[in-house]
Amino acid sequence: EAEVAQSPRYKITEKSQAVAFWCDPISGHATLYWYRQILGQGPELLVQFQDESVVDDSQLPKDRFSAERLKGVDSTLKIQPAELGDSAMYLCASSRGWDQPQHFGDGTRLSIL
């Protein structure tokens, strides 16, 4: 079964640095999501795309976080500058449509020193 690909798997960086995560959804999936998961908690939705358009980014800290899906396929989530509190797992998910089950990647674990 096709999977959602995420890279890198792990990222360690110092605070104030820039960091970027990449996600390649399952082919044909129009809807793409980015979640943040703090250790011991459930995932929290950051942003949702429908094709290349942002559907909801109300929970995205826009002063430091940005997300794009320029061609409506793969997506990048960026943090600049990173803060200690950004240490978490960043998960990408995709679905055929907004009313279909979401398929998750295995995430990028970010550690800020």
Partner 1 sequence: DAKTTQPNSMESNEEEPVHLPCNHSTISGTDYIHWYRQLPSQGPEYVIHGLTSNVNNRMASLAIAEDRKSSTLILHRATLRDAAVYYCILDNNAGNMLTFGGGTRLMVKP
Interface ranges with partner 1 (CB under 8 A): 4, 31, 41-45, 48, 55-56, 91, 93, 95, 98-107
Q: How far is the CB of 19 from partner 1 (least distance, A)?
A: 19
Token pair belonging to 97: 């449509």
Q: How far is the CB of 91 from partner 1 (least distance, A)?
A: 5
Q: How far is CA 19 from the centre of its chain?
A: 12
Q: How far is the CB of 43 from partner 1 (least distance, A)?
A: 5
Our CB check for partner 1 shows the closer of 50 and 81 to be 50
Question: Residue 65 contacts by C-beta under 8 Å, 6 or more apart in sequence?
Answer: 46, 77, 78, 79
Q: How far is the CB of 15 from partner 1 (least distance, A)?
A: 25
Our CB check for partner 1 shows the closer of 79 and 91 to be 91
- Tell me the residue ranges of DSSP E strands in 1-113: 5-7, 10-13, 19-24, 31-37, 44-50, 53-56, 65-68, 75-79, 88-95, 103-104, 108-112
8 A C-beta contact, residue 19 and residue 79: yes
Our CB check for partner 1 shows the closer of 43 and 77 to be 43
Our CB check for partner 1 shows the closer of 2 and 18 to be 2
